[in-house]
């Protein structure tokens, strides 16, 4: 019975449209493509042995599997489908896993777990390497998306009694506050996911190489500086840099494309930083010479 369900879920995923996701899916591809250009030849060759292609194709895999599991419940062997793609920052600016949004923990411990698993990749089965790799590629991207930091300093103001209309969603998280974008009612979080890069590059699509060249411009020194520190330190730095998005817009505001054009420096720098840190992480894991 369970097997039938998983098969049905897998097939549904194959035919599903590209799901809504951080960085709009294309952003994830940009991140993975830039990261791939910064892999050492050793790391690139080792990764290709497992995925038989490019990490670009796997960049949004986690969003696809998340969309298979809308109930966010465990599917045996597919725990990644219920992971949260955000992380929580407490009032002291540090990760606060006690406030994790769902029972499977937020992004940071799961990302650290996958990186830890890959450090022993030679002892893992090929499919376990592939799954952990897909998760690392995606979660390093997501952790840099400005709307993917959940600040506990904000009250969950939209928590309210059960709505009269059963189809109306109960909004409980501050990042999901309602506002108007180009005359249409939207939620703030989703606008950053979908438009922070696409509003800047409206033509972004299959031909994304020109945008890779536009974005991948940091000096070696600047890249090395950005890659210093631990995943947790990267998360805290992201949280400090992205906090401003909650000063730039408030519930009920009326914004349009110019909002994301005005704030493009944040989205662009977060996106390339994700790419450089992803390459740095993968080089550290797969760029090592074999022991024998
Ligand atoms: Zn995601």
- pLDDT of 247-291, one tens digit each? 999 999 999 999 999 999 999 999 999 999 999 999 999 997 665
Predicted local confidence at residue 14, as pLDDT = 36
Provide long-range contacts, Cβ within 8 A and 24+ apart, for 174-177: 174/246, 175/86, 175/147, 175/150, 177/250, 177/251
For 34, residues 6+ apart whose C-beta sits below 8 A from its C-beta are 212, 215, 216, 272, 275, 276, 279
How far is the centre of ligand 1, averaged over its atoms, from the C-alpha of 115 (Å)?
A: 17
Instruction: Encode pLDDT of 7-66 as tens digits.
Output: 444 433 333 333 467 888 889 999 999 999 999 999 999 999 999 989 999 898 888 877
Predicted local confidence at residue 169, as pLDDT = 58
Pick from 59, 53, 65, 62: nearest CA to 35: 59
- Tell how far CA 270 is from the center of its chain: 11
> Any idea which of 72-76, 111-115, 201-205 has the lowest mean pLDDT?
72-76
Domains of the chain: 20-70+82-156+172-286 (1.10.575.10)
How far is the centre of ligand 1, averaged over its atoms, from the C-alpha of 29 (Å)?
A: 12
What is d(CA 126, CA 118) in angstroms, rounded to the nearest whole number?
11
Range among 2-16, 74-88, 180-194 rated most confident: 180-194
Task: Go through 165-197 and write b for each residue having 16 or more CB atoms within 10 A of its CB, e for each that does not.
Answer: eeeeeebebbbbbebebeeeebbbbbbbbbbbb
Q: What is the pTM of this model?
A: 0.86
Side by side, the strands of the sheet bearing 254-255 are 184-187, 178-181, 254-255
What is d(CA 192, CA 194) in angstroms, rounded to the nearest whole number?
6
Pick from 197, 176, 173: nearest CA to 261: 197
Instruction: Encode pLDDT of 218-247 as tens digits.
Output: 999 999 999 999 999 999 999 999 999 999
Predicted local confidence at residue 24, as pLDDT = 81
> β-strands 178-181, 184-187: how paired?
antiparallel
Instruction: Encode pLDDT of 167-184 as tens digits.
Output: 655 656 889 898 999 999
How far is the centre of ligand 1, averaged over its atoms, from the C-alpha of 252 (Å)?
A: 26
How far is the centre of ligand 1, averaged over its atoms, from the C-alpha of 174 (Å)?
A: 18
How far is the centre of ligand 1, averaged over its atoms, from the C-alpha of 164 (Å)?
A: 31
Report the half-sphere exposure of 47 (CA within 13 A, side-chain side): 30
pLDDT above 80 for 188: yes
Predicted local confidence at residue 256, as pLDDT = 96
pLDDT above 80 for 120: yes
Predicted local confidence at residue 5, as pLDDT = 43
Predicted local confidence at residue 64, as pLDDT = 80
- Tell how far CA 220 is from the center of its chain: 24
How far is the centre of ligand 1, averaged over its atoms, from the C-alpha of 276 (Å)?
A: 18
How far is the centre of ligand 1, averaged over its atoms, from the C-alpha of 101 (Å)?
A: 15
How far is the centre of ligand 1, averaged over its atoms, from the C-alpha of 137 (Å)?
A: 10
């Amino acid at each position: 019975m369970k097997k039938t369900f998983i098969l049905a879920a897998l097939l549904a995923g194959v035919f599903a449209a590209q799901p809504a996701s951080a960085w709009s899916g294309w952003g994830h591809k940009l991140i993975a493509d830039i990261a791939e250009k910064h892999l050492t030849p050793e790391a690139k060759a080792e990764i290709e042995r497992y995925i038989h292609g490019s990490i670009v194709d796997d960049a949004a895999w986690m969003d696809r599997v998340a969309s298979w599991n809308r109930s966010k419940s465990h599917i045996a062997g597919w725990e990644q489908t219920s992971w949260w793609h955000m992380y929580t920052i407490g009032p002291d600016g540090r990760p606060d896993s006690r406030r994790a949004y769902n029972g499977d923990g937020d992004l940071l411990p799961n990302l650290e777990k996958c990186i830890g698993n890959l450090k022993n990749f030679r002892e893992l089965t090929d499919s376990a390497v592939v799954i952990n790799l897909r998760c690392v590629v995606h979660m390093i991207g997501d952790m840099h998306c400005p709307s993917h930091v959940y600040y506990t300093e904000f009250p969950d103001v939209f928590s309210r009694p059960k709505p009269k209309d059963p189809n109306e969603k109960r909004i409980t998280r501050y990042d999901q506050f309602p506002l108007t974008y180009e005359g249409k009612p939207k939620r703030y979080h989703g606008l950053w996911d979908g438009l922070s890069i696409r509003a800047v590059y409206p033509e972004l699509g299959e031909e994304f190489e020109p945008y890779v060249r536009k974005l991948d411009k940091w000096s070696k020194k600047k890249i090395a500086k950005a890659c210093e520190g631990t995943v947790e330190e990267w998360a805290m730095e992201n949280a400090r840099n992205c906090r401003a998005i909650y000063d730039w817009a408030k519930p009920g505001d009326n914004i349009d494309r110019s909002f994301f054009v005005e704030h493009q420096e944040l989205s662009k720098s977060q996106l390339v930083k994700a790419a450089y840190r992803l390459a740095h992480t993968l080089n550290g894991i797969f760029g090592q010479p074999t022991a024998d």
